[in-house]
C-alpha cells in the first residue's frame, strides 16, 4: 500500500530581492521594500511530503532518519542565515519562496522519496513544488467580510427554509471570508518569481476583496441578483473574475479556495493545461 507521509520543519532566515545588473531605482521599482539594503526575515515553515510502501514495521520511512536528513541537508544550513549568500543557487536566482522550495527539493531528492515540498514564509503566503523543473505553485491569501441570504427568488419562505434552513432567514447573515488564490507557472530563472507578487495581491484586492467587502451579496452584487450566493457559486464567480487578469500577469490560475467559516469551505480548480475545466467545486463541512 502506498502512503504519503509529511514531515514538518522550520527555520528562520533573511533575504533580499536585489539584482546587481539593475540600478537602485530599477530594483526599487521591481521589488519595493524587499530591495531594502539590509534585507528582511521570515519564520519559514517547511513540509516535506514523501511516498512509499509500508515496510514490515508499518512505516514508509523511519521518522528519525527523515528528521536527521532534513536537518543535515536543509535546516541546519538555512537557520539564522542570509539566504542570498548561504547556497550558490541563490547567487544565480533570487531566494523567493518558490525558488527556495525548488532548491530544497534538489538538496533532499537524493535522500528521500519526495512528492512535494511546501514552504511557507508567512501564514498568508506559501509555495508548493513538485519536482517539475522551474514550475511551481504559489498561494496568497486575503480576507473580507460580506453578508448573504440563501434563498431561491421565486420559492416560498417555507420552501427556502426546507432547502437552506437558517441560512434562508429574511435578513441574511454574514461571514468573515478567507480567500486563498493559487497560481501556477514557471519561475523566472533570474528573479525566481512565478509572478509579480505585489501585482497579484493588488489584482486580488482590486477585483475581489475590495468590491465584495462589507456588501450584502444578494443585493449589492449584480451577479447574485438571481443566483443564490452559496459558497460554491461564490467561489466559481471569483474564479471567473480572476482567470484572465492572472493570465495577463504571466501565470495561470490553478485553484481558488473560499473559507466562509472554520467548518465550511469550498475550492474550485482554475485553468488546467490551458483549458477552463467544467464547474467543479468541493464543499467541505456543513452550512
Question: Domain check: are 143 and 101 in the same one?
Answer: no
Q: What angle do CA 181, 215, 240 make, to 5 degrees?
A: 35
Question: Domain check: are 155 and 106 in the same one?
Answer: no
Question: Domain check: are 84 and 148 in the same one?
Answer: no
In this structure, are residues 200 and 183 in contact, taking their beta carbons and an 8 Å threshold? yes
CATH code assigned at 50: 3.30.479.10
Question: Domain check: are 107 and 200 in the same one?
Answer: no
Q: Give the pLDDT band of residue 1 (cuts 50, 70, 90).
A: low
Question: Domain check: are 30 and 150 in the same one?
Answer: no
Q: Which of 132, 161, 177 is the last residue of a domain?
A: 132
Question: Domain check: are 151 and 273 in the same one?
Answer: yes
pLDDT at 271: 79
Report the range of poorest mean pLDDT among 1-10, 72-81, 124-133, 264-273.
264-273
Question: Mind telling me the catalytic residues?
Answer: 167, 214, 260
The number of domains in the chain is 2
Torsion of CA 271, 276, 281, 282, to 10 degrees: -40
Q: Which of 80, 107, 132 is the last residue of a domain?
A: 132
pLDDT at 272: 52
Question: Domain check: are 118 and 139 in the same one?
Answer: no
Q: Which of 105, 132, 159 is the last residue of a domain?
A: 132
Can you give the residue range of the structural domain that contains 163?
134-287
d(CA 101, CA 127): 7
C-alpha cell at 230: 452559496
> What confidence tens digit (pLDDT) does each residue in 192-242 have?
999 999 999 999 999 999 999 999 999 999 999 999 999 999 999 999 999
Question: Domain check: are 256 and 276 in the same one?
Answer: yes
Question: Domain check: are 88 and 125 in the same one?
Answer: yes
Question: Domain check: are 86 and 147 in the same one?
Answer: no
Question: Domain check: are 162 and 24 in the same one?
Answer: no
Question: Domain check: are 57 and 104 in the same one?
Answer: yes
pTM for the model:
0.92
Q: Give the pLDDT band of residue 278 (cuts 50, 70, 90).
A: very low
Q: Give the pLDDT band of residue 9 (cuts 50, 70, 90).
A: very high
pLDDT at 275 over 80: no
Strands, E assignment, 161-209 = 173-186
Amino acid at each position: 500500500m502506498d502512503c504519503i507521509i509529511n514531515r514538518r520543519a522550520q527555520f528562520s532566515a533573511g533575504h533580499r530581492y536585489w539584482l546587481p545588473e539593475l540600478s537602485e531605482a530599477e530594483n526599487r521599482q521591481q521589488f519595493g521594500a524587499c530591495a531594502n539594503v539590509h534585507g528582511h526575515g521570515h519564520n519559514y515553515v517547511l513540509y516535506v511530503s514523501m511516498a512509499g510502501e509500508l515496510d514490515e514495521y508499518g512505516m514508509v520511512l523511519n521518522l528519525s532518519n527523515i528528521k536527521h536528513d532534513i536537518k543535515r541537508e536543509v535546516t541546519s544550513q538555512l537557520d539564522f542565515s542570509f539566504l542570498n549568500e548561504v547556497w550558490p543557487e541563490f547567487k544565480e536566482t533570487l531566494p523567493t519562496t518558490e525558488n527556495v522550495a525548488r532548491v530544497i527539493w534538489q538538496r533532499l531528492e537524493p535522500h528521500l522519496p519526495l512528492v512535494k515540498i511546501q514552504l511557507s514564509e508567512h501564514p498568508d503566503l506559501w509555495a508548493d513544488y513538485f519536482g517539475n523543473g522551474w514550475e511551481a505553485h504559489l498561494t496568497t491569501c486575503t480576507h473580507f467580510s460580506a453578508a448573504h441570504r440563501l434563498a431561491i427568488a421565486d420559492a416560498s419562505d417555507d420552501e427556502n427554509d426546507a432547502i437552506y434552513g437558517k441560512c434562508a432567514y429574511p435578513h441574511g447573515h454574514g461571514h468573515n471570508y478567507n480567500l486563498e488564490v493559487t497560481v501556477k507557472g514557471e519561475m523566472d530563472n533570474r528573479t525566481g518569481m512565478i509572478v509579480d507578487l505585489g501585482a497579484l495581491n493588488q489584482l486580488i484586492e482590486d477585483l475581489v476583496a475590495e468590491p465584495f467587502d462589507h456588501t450584502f451579496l444578494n443585493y449589492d452584487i449584480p451577479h447574485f441578483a438571481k443566483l443564490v450566493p452559496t459558497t460554491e457559486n461564490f467561489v466559481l464567480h471569483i474564479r471567473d473574475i480572476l482567470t484572465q487578469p492572472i493570465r495577463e500577469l504571466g501565470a495561470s490560475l490553478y485553484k481558488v479556495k473560499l473559507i466562509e467559516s472554520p467548518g465550511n469551505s469550498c475550492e474550485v480548480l482554475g485553468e488546467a493545461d490551458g483549458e477552463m475545466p467544467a464547474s467543479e467545486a468541493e464543499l467541505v463541512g456543513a452550512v
